[in-house]
């Protein structure tokens, strides 16, 4: 069916065009216009001249949808990130499908301690016998297995760890990291405070999204791992701040 694939392309690229989709699916322009109209009626996209974009919204994409979004890019970002995570260190991984990709990439690391407020991260790393896992407490968000709230913040504040690897829901042109859940933002801010060094992992889709709550600035981070070069203003700002931008490029042919 075309509609799910159209949504997948829109989420990956931030924008789709009528001409491009008609060529991709080998159908008429009118057929694609009807498809886009149906998706717009459902609130899944916003129509613009010549195509559509993902809606600017304060509602997050569901966890199950995010799990299958840009998998190859997330795996490549994670592979690049873990090159800078040494054996024998302590690292915090927060909530997010990209940090879950980092957890999978840590399966061969030795003598590491991983702290997390993400039950999915803990379940992934159970299969690494050389990894000690600390799951911090808090309010369970059933939608994605995340632990959030005051209890989580207080628990994290009891630790000091070598590295924090965090993700976010959106990145704006000022280099600010944004999220949808105020409780999760407070947790992420505490994670950054308790880390000796901090990394962000975020794929290209975060540059097309908007979220209302500010976690902080890329200026606070040591490194930012993504799959394509950020917009020029963000790249220039990172250079000025001393925040390293590292690219993890998916292998040719990866979906």
The CATH number for 48's domain is 1.10.10.10
Query: Could you tell me if 152 and 117 are in contact, meaning their C-beta atoms sit under 8 angstroms apart?
Result: yes
- Total structural domains in the chain? 2
Residue 65 has a pLDDT of: 52
Residue 139 lies in a domain: yes
Query: Could you tell me if 179 and 213 are in contact, meaning their C-beta atoms sit under 8 angstroms apart?
Result: yes
Instruction: Report residue 11 CA to chain centroid gap.
Output: 13
Query: Could you tell me if 131 and 112 are in contact, meaning their C-beta atoms sit under 8 angstroms apart?
Result: yes
**Residues, the chain:** 255
Distance between start and end Cα atoms, the chain: 18
Q: Same domain for 41 and 107?
A: no
Tokens found for residue 93: 């991984």
Q: Same domain for 120 and 193?
A: yes
Residue 255 lies in a domain: no
Q: Same domain for 29 and 79?
A: no
Residue 253 lies in a domain: no
Q: Same domain for 79 and 167?
A: yes
Query: Could you tell me if 216 and 193 are in contact, meaning their C-beta atoms sit under 8 angstroms apart?
Result: no
Q: Same domain for 151 and 50?
A: no
Q: Which domain holds residue 135?
A: 64-247
- Grouped pLDDT means (10 residues each) for the chain, 255 residues: 89 86 94 91 80 64 56 92 98 96 97 97 96 95 90 96 96 93 92 98 87 95 96 95 93 52
Q: What is the CATH number of the domain that holds 243?
A: 3.40.50.1360
Residue 26 lies in a domain: yes
Residue 58 has a pLDDT of: 41
Q: Same domain for 171 and 73?
A: yes
Q: Which candidate, 203, 211, 226, places its Cα nearest to that of 172?
A: 211
- The whole-angstrom separation of Cα 8 and Cα 171 is 20
* Rg, Å, the chain Cα set: 19
- The whole-angstrom separation of Cα 222 and Cα 128 is 27
Tokens found for residue 218: 């890329």
Residue 33 lies in a domain: yes
Q: Same domain for 50 and 81?
A: no
Q: Which residues contact 113 (CB under 8 A, 6 or more apart)?
A: 89, 90, 91, 131, 132, 133, 134, 161
Residue 87 has a pLDDT of: 97
Q: Which residue intervals of the chain are DSSP H helices? A: 2-13, 18-25, 29-41, 63-67, 71-82, 97-105, 119-125, 150-156, 182-193, 232-241
Q: Same domain for 26 and 45?
A: yes
Residue 18 lies in a domain: yes
- The whole-angstrom separation of Cα 189 and Cα 69 is 25
Residue 116 lies in a domain: yes
Residue 42 has a pLDDT of: 83
Q: Same domain for 113 and 198?
A: yes
Tell me which of 42, 57, 72 is where a domain ends.
Answer: 57
pTM for this entry: 0.75
Q: How do beta strands 161-166 and 195-201 pair?
A: parallel
Query: Could you tell me if 223 and 239 are in contact, meaning their C-beta atoms sit under 8 angstroms apart?
Result: no
């Amino acid at each position: 069916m075309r509609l799910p694939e159209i949504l997948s392309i829109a989420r990956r690229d931030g924008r789709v065009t009528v001409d491009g989709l008609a060529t991709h699916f080998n159908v008429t322009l009118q057929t694609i216009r009807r498809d886009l109209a149906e998706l717009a009626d459902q609130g899944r996209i916003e129509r613009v001249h010549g195509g559509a974009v993902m809606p600017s919204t304060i509602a997050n994409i569901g966890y199950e949808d995010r799990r299958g979004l840009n998998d190859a890019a997330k795996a490549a970002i994670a592979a690049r990130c873990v090159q800078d995570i040494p054996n024998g260190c302590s690292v915090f991984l927060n909530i997010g499908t990209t940090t879950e990709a980092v957890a999978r990439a840590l399966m061969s690391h030795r003598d590491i301690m991983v702290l997390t407020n993400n039950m999915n991260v803990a379940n992934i790393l159970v299969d690494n016998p050389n990894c000690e896992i600390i799951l911090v407490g808090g309010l369970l968000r059933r939608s994605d297995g995340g632990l959030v709230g005051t209890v989580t913040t207080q628990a994290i504040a009891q630790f000091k760890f070598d590295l924090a690897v965090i993700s976010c829901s959106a990145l704006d042109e000022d280099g600010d990291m944004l999220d949808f859940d105020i409780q999760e933002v407070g947790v992420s801010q505490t994670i950054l405070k308790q880390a000796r060094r901090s990394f962000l992992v975020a794929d290209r889709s975060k540059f097309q999204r908007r979220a209302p709550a500010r976690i902080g600035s890329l200026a606070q981070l040591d490194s930012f791992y993504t799959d394509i070069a950020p917009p020029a203003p963000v790249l220039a700002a990172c250079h000025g701040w001393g925040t390293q931008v590292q690219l993890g490029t998916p292998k040719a042919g990866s979906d």
